[in-house]
Structure 1
Amino acid sequence: MIAFTVDVGGVLGDYTGPRVADVLTDLAQAPANAAEIDRELLSVVPTLSSVLKATVCERLVINPADWPKQWSGGFQAYPETAAALKALAELGPVGALPNLSTLGGEARMAEVREQCGDYLSGIFPSYRLRARKPQKRCWRRAAPLLGVRVGDLIHIGDRVPEDIVGALNAGCRLAVLTNTRGVVVPDRYREDPRVRVVDDLPAAVELLTELSVTGLLGRSRRSHVAAARGGPPGR
Structure 2
Amino acid sequence: MTSPFTSDIVDRSGRVRAVCLDVDDTLVDYLRTARTALAALIGRDDAWPIWERANAEHFARLLTGQVDYETMRRDRARTFYADLGELLDESEIAEREARRRAAMERSWRLYPDTLPCLEWLRSAGVRVAAITNASGAHQRAKLSMLGIAEFFDEVVIAGELGAAKPDPAIFRAAALALGVPVAATVHVGDRLDLDAVGACDAGMRGVWLDRGAEPVAVPPGVSVITSLDQLPGLLALELAPPLSMAAPAAAAVA
User: One fold, TM greater than 0.5?
Assistant: yes
| Paired residue secondary structure (1:123) | strand
| Paired residue secondary structure (1:132) | coil
Q: Which aligned pairs between 1:1-235 and structure 2 lie closer than 5 A?
A: 2-15=17-30, 17-18=33-34, 33-42=53-62, 48=69, 63-68=89-94, 70=98, 71-72=101-102, 73-74=104-105, 75-89=108-122, 90-101=124-135, 104-112=138-146, 114=147, 116-172=148-204, 174-187=205-218, 189=219, 192=220, 194-211=221-238, 213-214=240-241
| Paired residue secondary structure (2:29) | strand
- Amino acid corresponding to residue 87 of structure 1 in structure 2: W
Higher RCO structure, 1 or 2 (CA under 8 Å, sep 6+): 2
Q: CA deviation at 1:96?
A: 1.4
| Paired residue secondary structure (1:181) | coil
Q: CA deviation at 1:68?
A: 2.0
Q: CA deviation at 1:93?
A: 0.7
| Gaps in structure 2 of 5+ consecutive residues | 1-15, 43-49, 83-87, 244-252
Q: CA deviation at 1:86?
A: 1.8
| Paired residue secondary structure (2:132) | coil
Question: d(CA) in 1 for partners of 2:171 and 2:51?
Answer: 32
Instruction: Give the paired residue count.
Output: 205
- Amino acid corresponding to residue 79 of structure 1 in structure 2: P
CA-atom RMSD, angstroms? 3.8
Q: CA deviation at 1:49?
A: 6.2
C-alpha contact 2:58 2:75 (8 A) present in aligned 1 = no
- Amino acid corresponding to residue 151 of structure 1 in structure 2: A
- Amino acid corresponding to residue 18 of structure 1 in structure 2: A
Question: d(CA) in 1 for partners of 2:73 and 2:230?
Answer: 42
After superposition, give the CA deviation of every residue in 1:7-47 in whole Å (9 maximum; x if it has no partner): 1223223126436xx69xx7xxx979521234213456695
| Paired residue secondary structure (2:196) | helix
C-alpha contact 2:28 2:109 (8 A) present in aligned 1 = yes
Question: d(CA) in 1 for partners of 2:135 and 2:58?
Answer: 6
After superposition, give the CA deviation of every residue in 1:66-106 in whole Å (9 maximum; x if it has no partner): 23254444331123322211222314111112332468445
Question: d(CA) in 2 for partners of 1:166 and 1:102?
Answer: 20
C-alpha contact 1:139 1:167 (8 A) present in aligned 2 = yes
- Amino acid corresponding to residue 93 of structure 2 in structure 1: W
C-alpha contact 1:42 1:127 (8 A) present in aligned 2 = yes
TM-score, normalised to structure 2, is: 0.64
Q: CA deviation at 1:161?
A: 0.9
Question: d(CA) in 2 for partners of 1:38 and 1:101?
Answer: 13
Partner of 1:224: none
| Paired residue secondary structure (2:109) | strand
Q: CA deviation at 1:58?
A: 7.8
Go from structure 1 to structure 2 and tell me whether the alpha carbon gap of 1:12 and 1:41 turns closer, same or farther (over 3 Å shift).
same
Go from structure 1 to structure 2 and tell me whether the alpha carbon gap of 1:198 and 1:120 turns closer, same or farther (over 3 Å shift).
same
C-alpha contact 1:99 1:125 (8 A) present in aligned 2 = yes
Q: CA deviation at 1:181?
A: 2.3
Question: d(CA) in 2 for partners of 1:53 and 1:213?
Answer: 44
